Structure 1
Amino acid sequence: MEGSCPWPVAPVRNPQAAAATPSGILTPSSSEVASLLNSNSHHRPLKICGGGTTSRCAAEAHWTVDLSPKLRQLTVDQQTHRVRFGSGWTMGELQGELAQWGCMVTTGLSGLPGVGFVLTGGMGPLSRSLGLAIDHVQSLSGIWGNGQPFALKRAELSEASAKHSIQQWTALLGAAPFLGVVQEIELRTLHLLPLTVVQGCVDPNRLAELITAAEHFPRGLSLQWCWGEAIEVMLVARCDDPKAVETLSDLTRTIPLNDQRQTTAAGLHQLPAFGSRAFPSTQDLVVHQEVIGLLGPGWGKATPALLQALNAAMANRPHPRCSLSNQQLGGAVADCSSQVTAFRHRDAEWKPWITASWPPDDHNARQAALNWLVRVWEELSPYCPGIHLAQLHDHLPWHGRELEAAFGPWLTPLRQLKQQLDPEAVLPPL
């Protein structure tokens, strides 16, 4: 189970995590995970790694539990429209496998994340029509932080169910990384949905026009953008939604994009790469990064003034790879009650995320980049007061503020649940 080799250099690994020197790398089988979380284990402290895209999937003087090599089971049930798979799969691998069966699940803009993508919410270009990935979860099994197993099924939860089971299920859907290690997950599948994708670049004024228009989009159409050296835009429309296709066609005539390209995808597994055109001259730079995701309602009439302020912030970023991106939510995300998952921000229309970048081993540049991130956060916080905890920052001074903004009044019950299920705080702190 243990390995003495250095952290593998692979495209799915976060560069900052890859540069860390962990105490060791553990690649447990499903039956071995419990022993690592057990109080008698000498492997402390731990970091859990699935897709390997976060900055804290490995850290100095920590043992890395890498789920990717051995938790690779996968079963597709076409009769019940379900897929059950182990935590070693990335979302891109999963979509590629499901496409062979003519089906898909709802995933995000990148195929690199692992099951943490689902367990922290799961937002993507089809969230407006399909909801969040956690809304499609049918069952979860794994090990709590105290070493005890769990196996919960949506179909078995009702008013007659034990209150603690319902609370555990609700907590896992949005706050799982703090409570346990999910080893297997079952999702509802969908038939492949053909998509029309339009990509191009815009200036800040035209971006403001797009954002204003997007807040009136039909559910089958969504806007994503990435602002680095340039502002790259991606519009994704479901081909089975005539109103979405018509709106997209009208929009690209009234607000044309520079270097506009249109493609058709058979499903999310063929979604074009996004973000590279925002960094035409710096894409290949090796950098370390921290990312914070925000959540908030529509910006409405405040959009032009906010974009002016963000334009000034982008002009003063300390490194060319510092960036600001955004993903549209709304629609079906709000159809699910905020009481049935730990993801509380069901009213969110936008999920902007701020990326601080700096050269490896440059402490001063790191601090400058993090200071810039906080300044942009302050600029956006009146409009996007919520937090999406896709990345954990328990090593940074604003972790407590993040938790409050992510979970709000449900943070206290979550902490009580963690005290029961992870009393020795083996997993990240709440």
Structure 2
Amino acid sequence: MSSEKNTKKGKPDSLLNSHINELSLTTRRGFLAAGVAASAAFYMPDGIIAETKPSDNSNKSTGNFTNNMKSLLKNVDVYFPGDENYSLFLKSLFSAEAAHNKPSAIVCPKKHEDIMQFIKIAAENTLRFTVCGEGLSSLSVQTDMLCLALNVHYNKVAVVKINGGVFVKVQGGSKAGDILAHLNTYGYHIPVGVSPLPGLGLIMRGGIGYLSRSEGLTCDYISQVNFITARGDNFLLDAHCIQKELWNAVRGAAPRFGIVSEVYLSVVPGTKVALSRLVADTGALKNWLEYSDKLQEGISASLVLGSDSAQYMSPVLYGCLVHQGSDEKAVAELSLVQKSITGDVKSTLLEDAHRVDYTEIPAFDVPLRDSGEFGDDAIPIVKSYLIKNSIIKNMSAVLLDALRTAPNQFCRIDLQHIGGKVRRIKNGSVFCGRDADWNIVVTGFYYTHSSPTEAAQAIAWVKNIMDQIKTAVISVYSVEIKNNTPETKDELEMAFQDKLKFLHRLSKKHDPLNLLSSYPL
């Protein structure tokens, strides 16, 4: 799960170490499809991609506010259109769509009190805004809205001891990779998603990764949240707080109610796992899905169906097998799995079962046998649904046919293995779909310069797959739900089910002015 400082320029995506010899093309495509809050296109009713344009009906008070911004927010960095830092900030965003938007101003808080003051001003002046944690989501920056950029300064991580327990305290602009790296030096970890790049947006809404089956979701480790609602109320939320409804809601749907200023997460001792990786012919998929039913919950068997060529579509199955344990017994158990899970289909081991640091798991992406340009302006169309293996294992032909007919070689289908402990945790969070066996992430790509036909092909490819596997779907992973698409309403209903009305009621209570209405709910 590894990453680099600069994935925008075509470097490999590795958490602490790079794997340049193996990942000759940027693994940006891998992260964008990893089921985290990646950027995605939005739809017009006729299915054509909408161009980003300044709105004609932006709040007139925004201009007055931005003109006096620095006097209202003392000692806070504020970037305006035309400023060098304004342009540099947008260029630094991972989401190409977000980077093309034009916020009215970018506000960069340095401490909790700065955020409180910003919310006070926004509420008093009815100013809509977005929150940018790591800039991965297309929703993190919107044209004609203020952008609260937590990631610029407000991103500290610290290990703390409270009442004999060990926790990691993270500020709102922190990212998963930095949290893991810091914990690693103390001999701890938390289960996170398959990429180091996401921020608290992913952590608050789930966090599906290699250790989910054995340890649960990342959001299951949240012990306390310092939360500021869109109306300016500041609450310390935990299992014993008076605001129990809000405590349950932020663990699954936080962005719609306010700002996550700080989070305390409980940690897990240890930093090592057992790992095996392989590449096989796509014909191995059927046996892979069948065999996964036999796995103990300490082992996950996530996979990617994609191309091992950057020049043309060359379908393969990339498998990443992870054992929660790291002793000789765990390595032996994983070795047995790697020999059996592909059946009689030929496979090539990239790494035999061995002990490795959790932070050094390579990027969740198909290793490439050639090189090519992916491009910084690639726009992913992402759908992330939670599905049952009992049904999807009989649909392997559907997935393989779809891969062969993908509009380009960067399209991919990920199956992130869950189940196990995730099923047994009952902590009141609004995360639904705990009975799922897989998080299926289907990603099609087009470019900002693509024709409407090319963009429509990428959209149709993703949607057609989801339509064909709908009988296997039990929920939607909310991190990939976008506003203003034909399926937004249905996806919200699937994601939150009988809790949706409850969430609507809370959003009216805590965001009565709809300052955060750009986030779907």
TM-score, normalization: structure 1?
Answer: 0.91
Q: 1:64 corresponds to which residue?
A: 147
Which amino acid is 2:96 matched to? P
Structure 2 counterpart of 1:403, from 467, 470, 492:
492
The DSSP-based 3-state class of the residue aligned with 1:394 is: coil
Contact 2:381 2:444 in 1 (8 A): yes
Question: Is 1:18 aligned with 2:99?
Answer: yes
Q: How does 1:152-167 map to 2 (within 5 A)?
A: 152-154=237-239, 156-157=240-241, 162=242, 165-167=243-245
Task: Give the direction of change, closer, same or farther, for the CA distance of 1:372–1:170 in structure 2 (3 Å limit).
Answer: same
Q: 1:273 corresponds to which residue?
A: 363
Q: 2:119 corresponds to which residue?
A: 37
Task: Give the direction of change, closer, same or farther, for the CA distance of 1:359–1:74 in structure 2 (3 Å limit).
Answer: closer
Distance 2:296 2:160 in 1: 31
Question: Is 1:352 aligned with 2:440?
Answer: yes
Distance 1:235 1:245 in 2: 11
Distance 2:253 2:123 in 1: 25
Task: Give the direction of change, closer, same or farther, for the CA distance of 1:48–1:127 in structure 2 (3 Å limit).
Answer: same
How far apart are residue 28 of structure 1 and its match? 2.0
Greater RCO, 1 or 2 (C-alpha within 8 Å, sep 6+) = 2
RMSD, matched Cα = 2.3
Q: How does 1:366-405 map to 2 (within 5 A)?
A: 366-405=455-494
Contact 1:35 1:41 in 2 (8 A): no
How far apart are residue 41 of structure 1 and its match? 5.2
Contact 1:143 1:182 in 2 (8 A): yes
Q: 1:232 corresponds to which residue?
A: 318
Which amino acid is 1:216 matched to? K
Which amino acid is 2:507 matched to? K
Distance 1:276 1:46 in 2: 37
How far apart are residue 55 of structure 1 and its match? 2.0
Structure 2 counterpart of 1:50, from 129, 133, 137:
133
Distance 1:288 1:222 in 2: 29
Q: How does 1:115-194 map to 2 (within 5 A)?
A: 115-154=200-239, 156-157=240-241, 162=242, 165-194=243-272
Which amino acid is 1:205 matched to? G
Q: Deviations over 1:75-97 (max 9, x none)?
A: 31254111111011110011111
Distance 1:318 1:20 in 2: 26
Question: Structure 1: which 5+ residue stretches go unaligned?
Answer: none
Contact 1:218 1:244 in 2 (8 A): no
The DSSP-based 3-state class of the residue aligned with 2:464 is: helix
Q: Deviations over 1:292-341 (max 9, x none)?
A: 210022236x51x411011111122223222111100001001112x611
Q: 2:22 corresponds to which residue?
A: none
Contact 1:72 1:87 in 2 (8 A): yes
Q: 1:298 corresponds to which residue?
A: 389
Point out the more displaced range, 193-202 or 93-102: 193-202
How far apart are residue 265 of structure 1 and its match? 5.5
Distance 1:107 1:398 in 2: 28
Contact 2:98 2:140 in 1 (8 A): yes
How far apart are residue 198 of structure 1 and its match? 1.3
Which amino acid is 1:384 matched to? V
Q: 1:85 corresponds to which residue?
A: 170
Which amino acid is 2:108 matched to? T
Distance 1:415 1:279 in 2: 48
Q: 2:195 corresponds to which residue?
A: 110
Structure 1's consecutive aligned runs of 4 or more residues displaced over 4 angstroms after TM superposition are: 9-12, 39-43, 240-244, 263-266, 278-283
Choose 1 or 2 for highest CA Rg: 2
Question: Is 1:213 aligned with 2:291?
Answer: yes
Distance 1:55 1:290 in 2: 11
Structure 2 counterpart of 1:261, from 351, 356, 361:
351
Distance 1:10 1:195 in 2: 36
How far apart are residue 185 of structure 1 and its match? 0.2
Question: Structure 2: which 5+ residue stretches go unaligned?
Answer: 1-76, 81-85, 308-315
Distance 2:132 2:351 in 1: 36
Structure 2 counterpart of 1:307, from 378, 396, 403:
396
Contact 2:388 2:474 in 1 (8 A): no
Structure 1 counterpart of 2:159, from 76, 89, 103:
76
Contact 1:295 1:350 in 2 (8 A): yes
Distance 2:330 2:432 in 1: 28
Distance 2:268 2:93 in 1: 26
The DSSP-based 3-state class of the residue aligned with 2:389 is: coil
Contact 1:82 1:186 in 2 (8 A): yes
Q: Deviations over 1:132-168 (max 9, x none)?
A: 11111110012112121111123x25xxxx4xx2111
Amino-acid identity (%): 23
Distance 2:416 2:157 in 1: 30
Task: Give the direction of change, closer, same or farther, for the CA distance of 1:266–1:356 in structure 2 (3 Å limit).
Answer: same
The DSSP-based 3-state class of the residue aligned with 2:255 is: helix
Task: Give the direction of change, closer, same or farther, for the CA distance of 1:139–1:257 in structure 2 (3 Å limit).
Answer: same
Distance 1:335 1:372 in 2: 35
Question: Is 1:2 aligned with 2:83?
Answer: no
Distance 2:324 2:235 in 1: 37
How far apart are residue 217 of structure 1 and its match? 0.8
Distance 2:99 2:92 in 1: 10
Task: Give the direction of change, closer, same or farther, for the CA distance of 1:42–1:268 in structure 2 (3 Å limit).
Answer: farther
How far apart are residue 22 of structure 1 and its match? 2.5
State the number of aligned residues: 420
Point out the more displaced range, 254-263 or 386-395: 254-263
Contact 1:194 1:267 in 2 (8 A): yes
Task: Give the direction of change, closer, same or farther, for the CA distance of 1:420–1:40 in structure 2 (3 Å limit).
Answer: closer
TM-score, normalization: structure 2?
Answer: 0.76
Distance 2:319 2:455 in 1: 28
How far apart are residue 243 of structure 1 and its match? 6.6
